[in-house]
Amino acid sequence: MAAAQELPQTHRALILTSTTAPPEIKTIPTPHAVPGSVVVRMQVCNVVSYASKIYNGTLNFPLLIPSVIGSSGIGRIVTVGPDATSLKPGQLVLVDSFIRARDNPSVAFLLGIHEGFSDGSRVLARGEWRDATYAEYAKLPLENCYPLDESKLLSHGLGYTIEELADISRLAVPYGGLADIDIKAGETVIVAPATGPFGGAAVRVALAMGARVIAMGRNAEVLKRIKENNERVEVVPITGDAEGDLKALKQFGPIDAYFDISPPAAAESTHLRSAMLALEHGGRVSLMGGIRSDISIPHALVVHQELQLKGKWMYSREQMRGLIKMVEGGILKIGSGSGRIVQKFALEDWHKAFEAAEGTLGTEKLAIILP
């Protein structure tokens, strides 16, 4: 095992012990790389817009208590397990918090967010992969660390800072759904709602894939900015009048696909109906939202228009690699040059990061923690 001596005995980590008390920073033993893993010095961690609602129990996620909480991010490998064949100490990697079972592709959970919904995911989360990334050091499965080409991404290449690279994890989420429904250059795709962090990311990814986007949302101000800041974007407000919004969508001609990223609060929103009704024969729908209840779908239309509905949780490994290539190749822009505002917070200011993330509606801002 290389460079194990660089690891300190203990490190600082943000630990959740209850939903009725805030997470606390504690000093705990530093993890060691076992077979199949690496230990990473976390550089940057993402914060989702609903972080406060996850850890105070509002969203009713199956939380793992106690545990180090966290999300995806960027880190530098410090030690590697004995079976690592290409990952090396010192390497800059994207740290992916979507943990999948090695012996069963249908078992997965989100490290630092919840323990998943199956017996298998609980085995992984309660055992080897309990602690996440809001910490100085984190142990990750080998396959959850994606090498990043520093020469292409940083100062002598595209000129991004390491902090700006945090955007990649957010963009990977909608890429999973958009790639799944095979979005092609020249096609038209509805993104709804487009005004939240992942919806805004979906607009950017769909454009980079060569599509024209119709962005739907309730916030006229944010929709206006999305249109102003991007070519090939049309906007349609969600007014609550499904038929009126359908008419507004149809004015833009044939629509090939619809990408949905609705939060639970939008379960009854009329945009689900208007967007499906607007699709061409054979239209494709990607459902990636966080709605936990059943939703109503226009059944006859799905049948007669032969629509295809596909759900997606996160992305495949191949899709993550594809998305990183789009960023490294400069096709998908990130960072301040692409209008992103990165708000940075120290680990002890995690509560400010959560507040800032909650206010990132509008897609331009990215709240990150620097452990």
Phi-psi region of 192 (alpha: psi -120 to 50; beta: other; left: phi over 0): beta
Residue with tokens 């487009």: 194
Q: Does 196 bind ligand NAP (CB under 6 A)?
A: yes
Residues 133 and 72: beta-carbon distance below 8 Å: yes
Query: CB burial class (10 A; 0-12, 13-18, 19+) of residue 53?
Result: middle
- Nearest approach, Cβ of residue 266 and ligand NAP (Å): 4
Contacts of 307 (CB under 8 A, 6+ apart): 276, 279, 282, 283, 284, 285, 301
Residues in contact with ligand NAP, shown as a per-residue x/- string from 225 to 244 under the rule CB under 6 A: -------------x------
Size of the site for ligand NAP (CB under 6 A): 27
Residues 131 and 371: beta-carbon distance below 8 Å: no
Residue-wise DSSP of 330-344: TSS--SGGGT-EEEE
Nearer to ligand NAP, 134 or 137 (CB): 134
Q: Does 285 bind ligand NAP (CB under 6 A)?
A: no
Phi-psi region of 337 (alpha: psi -120 to 50; beta: other; left: phi over 0): alpha
Q: Does 216 bind ligand NAP (CB under 6 A)?
A: no
Q: Please report which residue ranges of the chain form alpha helices under DSSP H.
A: 51-55, 119-126, 150-153, 167-180, 197-208, 220-229, 242-250, 271-277, 299-304, 317-328, 350-358
Q: Does 193 bind ligand NAP (CB under 6 A)?
A: yes
Nearer to ligand NAP, 66 or 290 (CB): 290
Interaction with ligand NAP in 136-165: which residues (CB under 6 A)?
none
Phi-psi region of 216 (alpha: psi -120 to 50; beta: other; left: phi over 0): beta
Of the candidate residues 269, 274, 286, 319, the single one contacting ligand NAP (CB under 6 A): 269
Residue nearest to ligand NAP (CB): 290
Of the candidate residues 89, 289, 335, 371, the single one contacting ligand NAP (CB under 6 A): 289
Residue with tokens 């190749």: 329
Of the candidate residues 130, 218, 321, 344, the single one contacting ligand NAP (CB under 6 A): 218
Q: Does 197 bind ligand NAP (CB under 6 A)?
A: yes
Of the candidate residues 265, 331, 341, 346, the single one contacting ligand NAP (CB under 6 A): 265
Q: Does 334 bind ligand NAP (CB under 6 A)?
A: no
Q: Does 371 bind ligand NAP (CB under 6 A)?
A: no
Span from 19-27, 143-151, 286-294, 339-347 in contact with ligand NAP (CB under 6 A): 286-294
Q: Does 70 bind ligand NAP (CB under 6 A)?
A: no
Of the candidate residues 44, 208, 361, 367, the single one contacting ligand NAP (CB under 6 A): 361
Of the candidate residues 70, 263, 335, 371, the single one contacting ligand NAP (CB under 6 A): 263
- Report the distance separating Cα 288 and Cα 297, nearest Å: 15
Nearer to ligand NAP, 25 or 267 (CB): 267
Sign of CA dihedral 99, 102, 108, 114: negative
Q: Does 109 bind ligand NAP (CB under 6 A)?
A: no
Of the candidate residues 249, 261, 279, 326, the single one contacting ligand NAP (CB under 6 A): 261
The secondary structure element, H or E, covering residue 79 is: strand 73-80
Of the candidate residues 282, 313, 330, 359, the single one contacting ligand NAP (CB under 6 A): 313
Nearer to ligand NAP, 77 or 201 (CB): 201
Of 277, 296, 117, 266, nearest to 199 by C-alpha is: 266
Residue with tokens 């076992």: 34
- Tell how far CA 264 is from the center of its chain: 16
Residues that bind ligand NAP (CB under 6 A): 48-50, 173, 193, 195-199, 217-219, 238, 261, 263-266, 269, 288-290, 312-314, 361
